[in-house]
A and B are shown apart, each in its own frame.
Chain A
Amino acid sequence: MRQTMQAIRQTAVQLLAAMGASVLSMTAAASVEIEHWQTSKGTDVYYVGAQQLPMVDIELRFDAGSARDGDAHGLAAMTNRLLGTATPKLDETAIAQGFNQLGAQFGQSAGRDSATLSLRTLTRDRLYEPAVDLFEQLLVEAVFRPEILTREKARLEVAIKQKATQPPALASMALWSRLYGDHPYAHPTEGTLASLDTLTRDRLQAFYDRYYVARNAQITIVGDLSRAEAEALAERLTQRLPAGNRPEPIPAVQTVAQPGKAVTEFDATQTQIMLATLGVKRGDPDYYALFLGNHLLGGSGFASLLMEEVREKRGLVYGVSSGFIPMRQAGPFMIRLSTQNAKAYEALDVVEATLKGFMDGFSDEKLEAIKSNLIGGFPLRLDSNGKIAGYVSMIGFYDLPLDYLDAFPKKIAALDKQAVLQAWQKRMTFDQATRILVGQPQ
């Protein structure tokens, strides 16, 4: 479509100097040029032009996740779910047909920090124009029909009851609840059986009016639009949105609510195991060192220590991994695995020993190998519009610098073993960790 600018240009990256002699034969890395501005209504826009394919990904992201539920657990998710089901002029069938006959894909999602509406469409005028019109209409003219709410609550009830029979889901719910206690991150995003009755039409309408407003929104655009077209699109999507205001910050998280061990008996062949504690906020300066350390500990599949000890040496699991979920406030750090019931405590012991060994130190050689993986693998994180859109949206939502992607491999390259160990020892204490087992552990 029309005027172009390369999204991903190949640039020589000055990494080798920073890395020392041995590691890389890398000569080129992907680079993403993010442009940022505000619409006249005060909505932040993040744009990357990518003209190779005649398509565009558009996402509106609101600070309207389940952390904003208040006492109506599941409110954010249900409000998001019902957007796109009705407007004063269109019913559910007409809306679905409207997108589908254009080959456009409309999407919704709700997490703890945010909720999104998204559109992927071809950029040929006769398809793009009506798809964007419909998208805008759903956003600003949402109607919450009681019969659809009743139906979706019935389906949610079935889903919640079904989750109570799935050990991985039980372990995950226990993790959030035990780490966060009374904090708004604690409850499941979709709510609970007990909170279903609080999801009334009036509450949904009020939530929509409060949070789906221009100053509480950001727009991400990646694809075959020029800067001028992207500006016009962003204006069009926000023109009819009320300006509104940003909500108060989500409260900080202080300590793990329930440390210790929790066993839930469940009739299954495997035990689901999680070892978790509080991690960090998105944007934390220590995150690079923690992330690099985690990549070595359990974040990189077969290259990680946990996989080597628990699977490769002992055959105890199919998969074991560790990871941070950085959020607006401190998100979880967790190690998760599942093994046959008879080996559950043996596997947990190996995990604990591996973690302790890692916190005490690791070989420089392993660290260099994992740095090399992260730096050399960076272009793989940016090799499609879909992946780029995900990163750009994250950068915008968490107020990260626009050169975050370019800077990331350089920050990693600059870290040595001492820096990684210091960050882990300073920030990650496991005496307050919680251990969750679901199954019949022996």
Chain B
Amino acid sequence: MTATRRHFNQAWWFLGWLSAIWLFSSLAQASLHTAELDNGMRVIIKEDHRSPVAVQQVWYRVGSNFEHSGRTGLSHMLEHMMFKGTKTRGPGEFSDIVSRLGGQDNAFTSRDYTAYYQVIGAQHLETMMALEADRMRNIDISDEHFQTERDVVAEERRWRTEDRPSSKLYELFRATAFINSPQHHPVIGWMSDIQNWTLEDVQAWYKRWYAPNNATLVVVGDVDPEQVLDWAQTYYGQHAPETIEPPKPQVEMPQNGERRMTLKAATHTPELLMGFHVPSLVTAKDASEVYALAVLNHILDGDDSARLTTELVNQSKLNSAASWYDSTSRWESLFTLNATPKQGQSLDEVEQLLWAQIERLKTELISETDFQRVLAQAEAQHVYHQDSIQAQARLLGMLASLNLPLDTYDNWAKNLRQVTPEDVRAVARKYLKADKATYAHLYPNGEDVSRKAPPAGGMH
């Protein structure tokens, strides 16, 4: 089961390269090639020749989990400033060039990494690599552009969070669940921090983290890997490494006793979030717990046969219910449940219904039918995933940025298969405890939600 039509001649390949170390991948896909440049930059190339298109992504190991109070959101602001010019390229010129070549470019910032990408006709890949390598070390921004872009980010926060009660609830929920670890902070930063960043803050952050030895290059698409590595050496290989001081551990303190917060906002429907600290593949002492938690999550909400749908929503006990689990967080993760009540139902009642589901996981073993369904889905998803070159690149970049094995997803279903019903019950008992729960409740702002409430569908 492979996405490629062209297989790689390993011996010929290996002889072609002296200046970089190639590791022939032992991964499921023979089309994957990895290397490390002399300056410490990781290179990951995956061939996919279905379309004459390539995606380049450069991932930096920095995000909101690296930030400090008073300067939250700086990684995301820096991401915006990366489009504002270098010593040799004017503001916006990068995107202009990508656009003229028919490409799409953008970037994203998360808690643990910041990534830049272009999707483009494969014949333009070299141009993209030259441009991306330039802005790795050479951005040059004016205070005027900085000030304008800070306003843009403030609008982004208003749009993304301030006027969306559910988003705001989630931000406050995480700030309640995480006290002393950097996961307390939102990726975009608190509004007061956004309004007080300076150009110097951004410049210092850039200098500190944007270096080849803190970065990973991912290229997926209709490419010749030897040629791509040659270009990587030419363009990225020219930069000297920096001394990267890793962030302090900032281990989240143990939680003893439940935590609660409430938010009132412009909403009609109340909402509940409920979370528990759990390990991720990065933090777990025993990775099998992570796979057991992944199965547990699927049993609750992996598909429309899962319990939250069949036993709560379909039986008209709740309006909606969901669960999720980020198994690849660099810091400790959260197992999260989310639900909205039926008309007139209290959030206390919603909590009780969710707790009944958790109790069932702690007492009953999951059935063989349920377990086989989880495996069938995981195996099919792995094929569907290969339909998008962007999704493939994104997964590889994320795994590399977290120092997880690149075949983590290829082995996912195999690892799930090792989980036993007893393992699922054991992680439920160990992690989903009443004294370890964090709750967030959202309530409407009283009757006066829309100050001149329009009838639905009509305006004045």
Contact = CB atoms under 8 A, between A and B. Distances in A.
A151 to B, nearest CB: 5
B333 to A, nearest CB: 25
Contacts of B267: 162, 165
A426 interface: no
Interface in A255-301: 262, 264-270, 300
B319 A93 contact: no
A30 B459 contact: no
B376 A101 contact: yes
B159 A102 contact: no
B361 to A, nearest CB: 19
B7 interface: no
Contacts of B377: 100, 103
Contacts of A96: 303-305, 309-310
Interface residues of B, number: 84
Q: What is the interface of chain A mostly: helix, strand, loop, or mixed?
A: mixed
A377 to B, nearest CB: 3
A18 interface: no
Contacts of A26: 102, 121, 123
B146 to A, nearest CB: 10
B316 interface: yes
Contact of B102 (A103, A160, A314, A372): A372
Contacts of A385: 387
B405 interface: no
Contact of A52 (B3, B123, B379, B458): B3
A265 to B, nearest CB: 5
Interface in B429-460: 444-445, 449-460
B122 to A, nearest CB: 8
A103 B379 contact: yes
B101 A100 contact: no
Contacts of A376: 100-103, 121, 124
Contacts of A425: none
Given A104-B380, A383-B50, A163 B460 contact: no
Nearest to A270: B158
B53 interface: yes
A122 B380 contact: yes
B102 A380 contact: yes
Interface residue tally on A, bucketed by range: 35 or more
B314 A270 contact: no
Interface in B111-163: 119-121, 123-124, 147-156, 158-160, 162-163
A379 interface: yes
A380 B99 contact: no
Given A267-B450, A373-B102, A177 B310 contact: no
A185 to B, nearest CB: 13
A183 to B, nearest CB: 14
Interface string B315-330: 0100110000000000
Interface in A347-400: 369-370, 372-380, 382-386
Nearest to B453: A164
B165 to A, nearest CB: 8
Contact of B53 (A151, A300, A318, A379): A379
Contacts of A54: 1, 383
A23 B305 CA distance: 53
Contacts of A265: 450-452
A29 interface: yes
B100 A372 contact: yes
Contacts of A193: 455-457
Contacts of B1: 54
18 contacts: A26-B121, A54-B383, A55-B383, A93-B314, A101-B369, A102-B376, A158-B343, A177-B457, A264-B452, A264-B459, A265-B451, A266-B450, A270-B159, A270-B163, A318-B153, A369-B99, A377-B104, A379-B102
Interface of B: 1, 3, 5, 50-53, 83, 91-92, 95-96, 99-104, 119-121, 123-124, 147-156, 158-160, 162-163, 165, 266-269, 303-305, 309-310, 313-314, 316, 319-320, 340, 342-343, 369, 372-373, 376-377, 379-381, 383-384, 386-389, 444-445, 449-460
Interface of A: 8, 10, 23, 25-30, 50, 52-55, 92-93, 96-97, 100-105, 120-122, 127, 150-151, 154-155, 157-158, 160-165, 167, 170, 173-174, 177-178, 187-188, 192-194, 262, 264-270, 300, 302-303, 308, 311-319, 338-340, 369-370, 372-380, 382-386, 436
